[in-house]
Amino acid sequence: MKAFCTAATSVAAVMAGALLGAGPVQARGGGGGHFSAPHATFSARPVMSSSTTRSVVRINKTNTTLRRATVHHESRIKHITKVDKSVVKTLSASSSGQGKGKVTLAKLPLFKPTTGKANLMGRLSVPGGLKPKLTLAHAPNTNIKLRLAPFVQRQWKKAFFWVAVAGVGYLTVPELYYDRFYRCARLNDPDYEECISTLSYAALEEDEVYRVRTPMPGTASYRYRAKVEPTVEARQTCSFEPFVERQWNRSFVWVQIPQTGNVTVPEDYYDRFTSKLGSEPPNYPGACKVLVEAAAADTIATTSPDLEHTL
């Protein structure tokens, strides 16, 4: 009888161990089929050891960790989704012209088309039914409008895209520079300063083939003499080389820059140019960018807007 009771006790202990071991496996197996339930092996020995109990506890801890990791993972996914929606909304608003206003293409300012000359680029007529690649609904201020004028309906030697800008008209952007232009224009509040700089460099690069140098006449005098030479970093940022003894299509003056040469500066850009050099230390990259912008304006045929539209 005593042996029978001992055997019964052993069987009950084995069955209890099996039931306790089944809980964590089923919990892991109920997560949508991503985990495969491992096979548990139980000893047929009649005595339960303390290690069996510790094994069950370890499985329960592992299961708890898995459940916590799953909750944390879902939280991260929700956070990323919100960011993506914001980005998509921003891009959609800027590319469709739905920024701070709405652009009516039929009412955009238009320049009269004109044919280019030897070292002057002409202005193109806007094709009928044109669908611009990009529309910017945020109209710039008056000063920016004037500085964007050299790129309105501008004729380029290589492939370009049309971009509609509220209050300005139709800009033409070289295909090779479009990605850089888009990065500064894609926001609801475009960085028009950077856009002007990008288009100006494009115009300067295209003009390099036709640039003419004119040595300084013996009767000419310097309007300005810089005291210090540009640093290596300043030269790498923006080079004055394209403006040394440059022949402009408008009145210009002579400026001496140490270790650089005789730089020519258009009269109507002189104040902006020298304001950069008058700082301490001189802002040579800023002064150089003024000349880059001047070169873009100097290489476009001057025309007036259509009388029915105004800039």
pLDDT digits (tens, 9 = 90+) for 102-159: 788 888 999 999 988 877 899 999 999 999 999 999 999 999 999 999 999 999 999 9
pLDDT tens sequence across 47-68? 444 444 444 444 444 444 444 4
| Spatial separation of the C-alpha atoms in residues 46 and 25, rounded to whole Å | 24
Q: What is the pLDDT of residues 200-252, one digit of tens each?
A: 999 999 887 767 888 999 999 999 999 999 999 999 999 999 999 999 999 99
Rounded CA-CA distance 179/271 in Å is 32
Q: For the chain, what is the mean pLDDT?
A: 75
Amino acid at 28: R
- Give the full edge-to-edge strand order of the sheet including 160-165: 134-136, 160-165, 169-174
Cis peptide before 281 (omega within 30 of 0): yes
